[in-house]
């Protein structure tokens, strides 16, 4: 896979180390010490995700007329992302999704919540459509208004062309106070894409989890509250409930799909048709 990340999960790993509960919260975290690939990844992401880019990708992908796949076909397809030559990537994409779902199931959450865990990262198939890493993963952020310094590596926004557009650099930019996140164009990636794929089928709480799980500036740092409606704020409790399962469910014991397939096949059939539009 094309860099700068060695593999897509390197971004996920960086986020979980940032929010590692065993780490002491420091007033200032020195991300400059993170690996050059991660830094370069954020530099590209923050420089190239302009509002125009986001709108163009939405036009390109959200018609959902590229392919039809079952959840299982999509998981298999996503799994082709795994780079066999990389010894760190011992967990496949299927395993991350399954471990997230299994951790949610162990805690006795509703079935739709477990299912949300299983599919939350399926949007990463964007990588297989030729999208660069910086347009698939990464912390998401609103475009069309001022960047918050709560977004990691926010200094890199200085090279984004939108930074030089004064109408995009006021606190509200093109938005109205508390307009609701649905009206806000976040940077493009696997979250927004998968939200649209799953939209007809999952309860709203699950859709919020999928759509905003990489919006760390909001759900972890409390930024951009002024764009959120009261309803968003209420629903963000679900985004926050989901996040630890995404970040901390990685473990050495690999879930055996063969043993779990029965349970998950039934669960998938309960909510989804046999094929989804991607
Ligand atoms: Fe994700
Ligand atoms: Fe994930």
Distance (angstroms) between ligand 1 centre and the Cα of 89 equals: 16
Three-state secondary structure of 225-266: HHHCCHHHHHHHHHHHHHHHHHHHCCCCCCCCHHHHHHHHHH
Average pLDDT over the chain, rounded to an integer: 92
- Write out the two tokens for 57: 């990708």
Output the pTM of the full model: 0.94
Question: Which ligand lies nearest the alpha carbon of 194?
Answer: 1
Question: Model confidence over 142-174: pLDDT tens digits?
Answer: 999 999 999 999 999 999 999 999 999 999 999
Answer yes or no: is 150 within a domain: yes
Please answer whether residues 117 and 245 qualify as being in contact, where contact means their C-beta atoms are separated by less than 8 angstroms.
Answer: yes
- Look at the chain and report how many structural domains it folds into: 1
Dist. CA 165 → ligand 2 center (Å): 33
Report if residue 171 sits inside a domain: yes
Ligand 1 center to 75 CA (angstroms): 14
Q: Is the peptide bond before 276 cis (omega within 30 degrees of 0)?
A: no
Please report which helix (H) or strand (E) contains residue 12, including its range.
helix 9-18
Rounded Cα distance, 75 and 204, in Å: 22
211 alpha carbon to ligand 2 midpoint, in Å? 12
- Domain boundaries, position 76: 9-277
Distances (CA, A) of 25 to 20, 61, 152, 217, 251: 9, 39, 15, 16, 24
Residue 166 Cα, ligand 1 centroid: separation in angstroms?
A: 32
| H/E element, 69 | strand 68-69
Per the CB < 8 A criterion, the answer to whether 81 and 127 are in contact is yes
**Ligand 1: distance of its center to the CA of 167 in Å?**
31
- Residue 232 Cα to ligand 1 middle (Å): 20
Q: Is residue 110 one of the residues assigned to a domain?
A: yes
Instruction: Give a yes or no: residue 235 inside a domain.
Output: yes
95 lies in some domain: yes
Ligand 2 centroid–CA 9 distance in Å is: 9
Determine the distance separating the centroid of ligand 1 and the alpha carbon of 12, expressed in angstroms: 7
Query: How large is the average pLDDT for residues 67-73?
Result: 96
- Residue 252 lies inside a defined structural domain of this protein: yes
Taking the CA atoms of 208, 98, 92 and 126 in sequence, report the sign of the dihedral they define. Answer: negative
Is 3 a member of any domain?
no
Tell me which ligand sits closest to the C-alpha of residue 91.
Answer: 2
pLDDT digit string, tens, across residues 206-248: 999 999 999 999 999 999 999 999 999 999 999 999 999 999 9
H or E segment to which residue 277 belongs: strand 276-277
Residue 108 is assigned to a structural domain of this protein: yes
Band of residue 79 on the pLDDT scale cut at 50, 70, 90:
confident
Ligand lying nearest the CA atom of residue 211? 1
């Amino acid at each position: 896979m094309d860099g700068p990340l060695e593999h897509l999960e390197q971004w996920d790993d960086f986020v979980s180390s940032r929010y590692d509960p065993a780490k002491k919260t420091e007033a200032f975290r020195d991300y400059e010490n993170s690996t050059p690939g991660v830094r370069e990844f954020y530099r590209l992401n923050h420089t190239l995700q302009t509002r125009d880019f986001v709108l163009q990708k939405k036009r390109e992908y959200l018609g959902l007329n590229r392919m039809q796949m079952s959840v299982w076909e999509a998981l298999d397809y996503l799994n082709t992302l795994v780079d066999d030559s990389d010894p760190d990537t011992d967990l496949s994409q299927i395993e991350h999704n399954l471990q997230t779902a299994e951790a949610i199931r162990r805690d006795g959450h509703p079935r739709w919540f477990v299912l949300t865990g299983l599919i939350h990262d399926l949007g990463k198939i964007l990588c297989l459509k030729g999208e660069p890493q910086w347009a698939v993963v990464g912390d998401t952020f609103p475009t069309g208004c001022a960047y918050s310094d709560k977004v990691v590596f926010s200094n890199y926004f200085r090279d984004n062309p939108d930074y030089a557009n004064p109408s995009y650099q006021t606190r509200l930019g093109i938005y109205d106070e508390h307009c609701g996140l649905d009206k806000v164009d976040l940077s493009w990636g696997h979250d927004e894409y998968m939200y649209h794929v799953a939209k007809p089928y999952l309860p709203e709480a699950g859709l919020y989890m999928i759509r905003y799980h990489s919006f760390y500036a909001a759900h972890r740092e409390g930024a951009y509250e002024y764009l959120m409606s009261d309803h968003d704020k209420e629903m963000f409790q679900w985004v926050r409930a989901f996040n630890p399962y995404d970040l901390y469910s990685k473990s050495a014991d690999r879930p055996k799909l063969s043993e779990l397939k029965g349970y998950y096949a039934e669960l998938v059939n309960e909510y989804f048709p046999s094929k989804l539009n991607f």
